[in-house]
């Protein structure tokens, strides 16, 4: 477990498994009333609580296992917040599709309104984690959440500005209005900056991994390198036609046929 290759494979598996687990819950509540979707979200609160508890208890730890625990804690916190969004419980005040040919400023505010509460929750959690753990011995959980946050903000902005491939296959019915705020086009000005920044981040973690002296640092930086590389790969999936949906489609319950007919079959990405 102290090998950086094992840590990288662990990060890949946890990314795949956590994404699949969230998609299963979302698919099973597809088309259900708000009370059922709220119940599924509330049922996941122990995962959030466990993540917060584990994050706090790993801050002072200096063994290699604490790097795994901190990584898992960040995924648990992040995963519950994403679940609350995909079930339609914590989204934003705007629940309507974007009209065609609205001014760009209005389109931006409408798009922001579709996920405002979710973004504020993510940002609040990020700030709290930094305030509480910025000077700790073990900051791998903190950096894991930060990488996920920055990569997700970048991905959402790129979808808004326009990319060749828009991922709507697993967008739940409660969030069907989101796709109207996306834009399909060859390229936007932010995408090169996003992939450059993520590439530099991967290089930074690799440099730290190469110079690491302790088992905790070797494990932690291997995990960070892997999750950042996956975020970079997800950005490239916006422009490269690869069938990444097959990673999860086989494990999910059958979709609602009426919902599928109204959507374009594209690929989902990880958490």
Considering the chain, what percentage of its residues have pLDDT values greater than 90? 76
Flag whether pLDDT at 266 surpasses 60: no
Flag whether pLDDT at 263 surpasses 60: no
Report phi then psi at 189, rounded to 5.
-70, -25
Mean pLDDT of 198-204: 98
Mean pLDDT of 212-218: 94
Predicted pLDDT at 245: 66
Alpha-carbon span 154 to 143, nearest angstrom: 16
Flag whether pLDDT at 196 surpasses 60: yes
Mean pLDDT, the chain, whole residue set? 90
Helix axes 34-43, 45-58, angle to 10 degrees: 30
User: Confidence band (pLDDT; 50, 70, 90) for 225?
Assistant: very high
* Closest-CA residue to 161 (of 271, 239, 263, 231): 239
Question: pLDDT per residue over 109-149, tens digit each?
Answer: 999 999 999 999 999 999 999 999 999 999 999 999 999 99
Cα dihedral value 64, 65, 68, 72, nearest 10: -150
SS3 state of residue 137: coil
Flag whether pLDDT at 250 surpasses 50: yes
Flag whether pLDDT at 171 surpasses 90: no
User: Confidence band (pLDDT; 50, 70, 90) for 256?
Assistant: low
Flag whether pLDDT at 267 surpasses 60: no
Mean pLDDT of 30-52: 94
Q: What is the pTM of this model?
A: 0.91
Flag whether pLDDT at 265 surpasses 50: no
Give burial (CB, 10 Å; 0-12/13-18/19+) of 201. buried
Q: Which residues contact 167 (CB under 8 A, 6 or more apart)?
A: 237, 238, 266, 267, 268, 269
Flag whether pLDDT at 261 surpasses 80: no
């Amino acid at each position: 477990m102290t090998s950086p290759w094992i840590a990288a494979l662990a990060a890949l598996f946890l990314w795949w498994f956590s994404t699949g687990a969230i998609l299963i819950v979302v698919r099973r509540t597809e088309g259900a009333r708000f009370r059922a979707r709220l119940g599924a979200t509330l049922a996941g609160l122990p995962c959030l609580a466990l993540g917060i508890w584990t994050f706090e208890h790993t801050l002072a730890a200096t063994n290699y296992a604490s790097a795994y625990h901190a990584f898992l804690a960040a995924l648990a916190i992040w995963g519950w917040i994403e679940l609350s969004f995909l079930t339609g419980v914590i989204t934003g005040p705007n629940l309507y599709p974007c009209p065609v040919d609205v001014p760009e400023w209005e389109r931006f505010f409408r798009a922001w309104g579709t996920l405002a509460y979710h973004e504020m929750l993510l940002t609040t959690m990020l700030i709290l984690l930094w305030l509480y753990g910025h000077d700790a011995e073990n900051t791998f959980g903190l950096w894991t959440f930060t990488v996920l946050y920055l990569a997700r903000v970048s991905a959402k902005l790129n979808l808004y500005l326009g990319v060749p491939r828009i991922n709507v296959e697993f967008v739940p019915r409660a969030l069907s209005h989101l796709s109207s705020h996306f834009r399909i086009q060859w390229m936007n000005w932010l995408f090169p900056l996003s992939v450059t920044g993520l590439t530099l981040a991967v290089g930074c973690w690799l440099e730290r991994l190469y110079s690491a002296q302790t088992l905790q640092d070797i494990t932690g930086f291997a995990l960070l390198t892997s999750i950042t590389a996956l975020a970079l790969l997800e950005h490239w999936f916006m422009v490269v036609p690869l069938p990444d949906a097959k990673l999860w489609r086989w494990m999910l319950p059958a979709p609602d046929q009426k919902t599928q007919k109204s959507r374009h079959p594209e690929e989902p990405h990880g958490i």
